[in-house]
Amino acid sequence: MRITHGVMVSGFLGDMNTNLNSLNKIQKQLNTGKEFSKPSDDPFKVARSMQMYSEINANKQYNTNIKDTINWMDTTDTALSNGTKCLQRIRELMVSAGNAAYGSSELTAIKEEINERVAEFGQILNTSFDGKYIFGGKDGASKPVEVNLDGVTGLNSIGISGDEDIINKSLKVEISSGVTVDYNVNAVEVLKFTDKDGNGNVVDGAGVPTGEMDVMKFFDDLLNNLSDVNGKSKVVGENLDQIDKVINNMLSISAKVGTVQNRMESAKELNTAQNENLTEILSGNEDIDFMEKSMEMAVARTIYVASLQTSSKVLQPSILDFL
């Protein structure tokens, strides 16, 4: 095969272009800090990075879900604590009502404070967080409890506002792939529950106790008994037993909230560890080693300069040399 001057020139130009492309690629890697800037640079690594970015973004959303749930549960825990304190104060007042030395003025003062505490309890169950009523279940946009004042008797009463079936539904949150957690407490759980001993204050049509405890009915009965001169014995008797059940139910619900809070904290720690692991894997897949690339840059520059020097010497002949 005859090697012409044109073939030599073409070969040298091709080699120099290859060296220049290599130099340019390394320069881009140093500028961006990444192994690749387009899919064709390394299709396999690009595909893997895309998958890692997808997992990291999903993990960030789980982290947001977990943090929002922790804040929600903290608000719930505070509300339940305030509600329990309110009930305990009512209980203290009920015990005081049994004091034989108390006259009508003292009993009236007790009734008035309990009356205000009933309204306070209803307001606590209307606590909101981030624009939603935390005890509203699926209907977080509406107050789950209504507080009513009887214009004739001056007594407060509370009631469930809206559809109980909707309020009584659980809220779920996804904290990792395929893992969901029920996290809310609703007003129905607080105001209507089954007494474990079967000694509630609700009876069926035949007058048989159902074992259900209705807190709203309890408050009505309590205030009516406090308004009745002959109702003191009921206040310190059956009403006192009933409020103990209500308080125990609140404590039981608070314990469940604490369990969810602990799980969320564990999920947060796991999520953070997963995010760090995913970020490390992603970095290993696409980030360059600056020291290594700097050495490659120096070598590539040396090769390119050498190719320029070589070509300038080898390709010196021109048409003038043959005239």
Spell out the domain ranges in the chain. Answer: 5-33+288-322, 53-278
Across residues 203-226, what is the average pLDDT? Answer: 79
Indicate whether 153 pLDDT > 70: yes
The residue assigned the tokens 């003191």 is 232
Give the confidence band of 289 by pLDDT, cuts at 50, 70, 90: low
Across residues 247-258, what is the average pLDDT? Answer: 96
Distance from C-alpha of 65 to C-alpha of 63, rounded to nearest angstrom = 5
What is the model's pLDDT at position 208? 46
- Which residues lie below 8 Å from residue 144, measured CB to CB, with a gap of 6+? 125, 126, 133, 135, 136, 137, 160, 161, 162, 167, 186, 187
Q: Residue 66 in contact with residue 267, Cβ under 8 Å?
A: yes
Provide the CA 311 distance to its chain's centre, in angstroms.
66
Distance from C-alpha of 39 to C-alpha of 51, rounded to nearest angstrom = 13
What is the separation, in whole angstroms, between the first and last Cα of the chain?
26
Percent of the chain with pLDDT over 90: 57
Question: Dihedral of the CA atoms 262, 170, 76, 176 (nearest 10)?
Answer: 40
Least confident segment among 84-98, 178-192, 286-300: 286-300
Q: Where are the beta strands (DSSP E) in the chain?
A: 128-129, 132-133, 145-149, 156-160, 172-176, 179-182, 192-194, 212-214
Across residues 47-64, what is the average pLDDT? Answer: 89
What is the model's pLDDT at position 300? 67
Across residues 249-262, what is the average pLDDT? Answer: 97
The residue assigned the tokens 């608000």 is 75
What is the model's pLDDT at position 244? 95
Across residues 41-47, what is the average pLDDT? Answer: 76
Distance from C-alpha of 7 to C-alpha of 98, rounded to nearest angstrom = 115
Distance from C-alpha of 314 to C-alpha of 312, rounded to nearest angstrom = 6
Distance from C-alpha of 151 to C-alpha of 154, rounded to nearest angstrom = 5
Q: Is residue 97 packed enough to be buried (19+ CB in 10 Å), middle (13-18) or exposed (0-12)? A: buried
For residue 45 the two structure tokens come to 């690594």
Q: Which DSSP letter does residue 207 get?
A: S
For residue 241 the two structure tokens come to 């037993």
Give the confidence band of 29 by pLDDT, cuts at 50, 70, 90: low
Could you tell me the pTM of the whole model?
0.78
Across residues 108-114, what is the average pLDDT? Answer: 96
Cα–Cα nearest to 76, from 18, 151, 130, 13: 130
Other CB atoms within a 10 A radius of the CB of residue 250 amount to 23
Percent of the chain with pLDDT over 70: 73
Distance from C-alpha of 74 to C-alpha of 262, rounded to nearest angstrom = 11
For residue 77 the two structure tokens come to 């825990």
**53-278 sits in which CATH class?**
mainly alpha
For residue range 224-234, list pLDDT tens digits in order: 999 988 888 99
What mean pLDDT value characterizes the chain? 84
